């Protein structure tokens, strides 16, 4: 086996990939996990995860996934920080192309999760990193005693708004509908939080500033009225899409671009599995991702043994 050849390559170091890595490494399959960003995936954005079993008082997304990583590394999981750009299947051999060259494996588990959707309004790209952010955990501390807006009304958006109460003095939650899509427990917390103010039936139409964000432009969807809101920061959380751009034409994807799998997490290509938020029908929760990772890993092990 050459230096760049593995039994299993896992793409993505979120809960699905880390769980898969624990199982394959512990089964003594030579495993490489490739992660392009921070280990832990999407859940590192959650200050407190209350629905992952085993933590009666909740756990931060960072602590949870650091523990997952430590546990898998203990059994020999190797990790590489590069981006995967392609997958080629040549019978039993699978070639994973990365920004650092090719790696081969007998089996590949794709656990790349999803990417945040952009607003697509003027100023968004220009002010990214200058007041526009997609990660409250990463950037929240820059907004101590400042006024920010969170765009979105789902679980992730409201969780981020609550996370920002640790730093910002006021947080506007701007949502295109008249009610939140977040689960009831999250909603109850949000409505009890005095720093949060909700602006309903409203969309953002532009981000405006000088060196940094100064204000956002809004449109009321019911009245059509345009307005401006002075803010120091904008946290965008308007949904996500499966991170499968490099897999088009390689694997079967559903209408939203998620990888189609069966209940063994098998894609249509023997030896290639998908797990977590990236697969069609996922519940898009950490527990589901971790479970999928285990299912994929066990079946990858069976495939390698055939």
Ligand X SMILES: Cc1cc2nc3c(=O)[nH]c(=O)nc-3n(C[C@H](O)[C@H](O)[C@H](O)COP(=O)(O)OP(=O)(O)OC[C@H]3O[C@@H](n4cnc5c(N)ncnc54)[C@H](O)[C@@H]3O)c2cc1C
* Residues of this chain that bind ligand X (CB under 6 A): 11-17, 34-37, 41-43, 45-46, 49, 51, 83-84, 111-114, 156, 159-160, 243, 276-278, 284-287, 289
Smallest gap from Cβ 130 to ligand X, in A, equals: 21
| Strands across the sheet containing 202-209 | 202-209, 213-220, 226-230
For ligand X, give the closer residue by CB, 187 or 205.
Answer: 187
Smallest gap from Cβ 215 to ligand X, in A, equals: 25
Task: Check 63, 135, 201, 220 and give the catalytic one.
Answer: 135
Task: Check 7, 139, 232, 277 and give the catalytic one.
Answer: 139
Task: Check 57, 63, 90, 138 and give the catalytic one.
Answer: 138
Strand 240-242 vs strand 233-236: parallel, antiparallel, or unpaired? unpaired
For ligand X, give the closer residue by CB, 209 or 236.
Answer: 236
Distances (CA, A) of 142 to 29, 162, 170, 298: 43, 16, 14, 43
Write the burial class of residue 302 (CB in 10 Å: 0-12 exposed, 13-18 middle, 19+ buried).
exposed
Helix (H, G, I), strand (E, B) or coil at 142: helix
Smallest gap from Cβ 47 to ligand X, in A, equals: 9
C-alpha dihedral (140, 143, 147, 148), degrees to nearest 10 = -30
For ligand X, give the closer residue by CB, 209 or 243.
Answer: 243
For ligand X, give the closer residue by CB, 135 or 199.
Answer: 135
Smallest gap from Cβ 156 to ligand X, in A, equals: 4
For ligand X, give the closer residue by CB, 71 or 205.
Answer: 71
Smallest gap from Cβ 143 to ligand X, in A, equals: 16
Strand ranges for the chain from DSSP E:
5-11, 31-34, 78-80, 84-90, 93-98, 101-110, 114-116, 132-133, 147-151, 170-174, 196-199, 202-209, 213-220, 226-230, 233-236, 240-242, 272-274
138 is catalytic: yes
139 is catalytic: yes
Sequence-distant (6+) residues with CB within 8 A of 77 are 21, 22, 24, 25, 31, 33
Smallest gap from Cβ 15 to ligand X, in A, equals: 4
Taking residue 216's Cβ as centre, other Cβ atoms within 10 Å add up to 28
For ligand X, give the closer residue by CB, 7 or 160.
Answer: 160
Q: Please give the positions annotated as active site.
A: 135, 138-139
């Amino acid at each position: 086996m050459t230096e760049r050849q593995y039994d299993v390559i896992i793409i993505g170091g979120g809960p699905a990939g880390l769980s898969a890595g624990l199982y394959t490494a512990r089964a003594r399959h030579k495993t490489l996990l490739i992660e392009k960003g921070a280990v832990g995936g999407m859940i590192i954005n959650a200050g407190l995860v209350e629905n992952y079993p085993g933590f009666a008082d909740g756990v931060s997304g960072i602590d949870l996934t650091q523990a997952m990583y430590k546990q898998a590394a203990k059994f020999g999981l190797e990790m590489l920080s590069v981006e995967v750009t392609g997958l080629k299947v040549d019978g039993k051999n699978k070639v994973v192309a990365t920004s650092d060259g090719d790696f081969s494996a007998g089996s590949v588990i794709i656990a790349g999760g999803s990417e945040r959707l952009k607003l697509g309004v003027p100023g968004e790209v220009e002010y990214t990193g200058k007041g526009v952010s997609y990660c409250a955990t990463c950037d929240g501390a820059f907004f101590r005693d400042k006024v920010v807006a969170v765009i979105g009304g789902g679980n992730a958006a409201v969780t981020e708004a609550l996370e920002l109460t640790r730093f910002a003095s006021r947080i506007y939650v701007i949502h295109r509908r008249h009610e939140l899509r977040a689960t009831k427990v999250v909603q109850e917390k949000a409505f009890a939080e005095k720093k949060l103010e909700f602006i309903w039936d409203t969309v953002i139409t532009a981000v405006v500033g000088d060196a940094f964000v100064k204000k956002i432009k809004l449109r009321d969807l019911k009245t059509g009225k345009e307005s401006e809101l002075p803010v120091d920061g904008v946290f965008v959380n308007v949904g996500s899409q499966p991170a499968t751009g490099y897999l088009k034409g390689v694997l079967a994807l559903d209408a939203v671009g998620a990888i189609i799998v069966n209940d063994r997490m098998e894609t249509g290509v023997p030896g290639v599995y998908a797990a977590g938020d990236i697969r069609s029908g996922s519940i898009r929760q950490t527990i589901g991702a971790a479970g999928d990772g285990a299912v994929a890993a066990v079946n990858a092990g069976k495939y390698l043994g055939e």
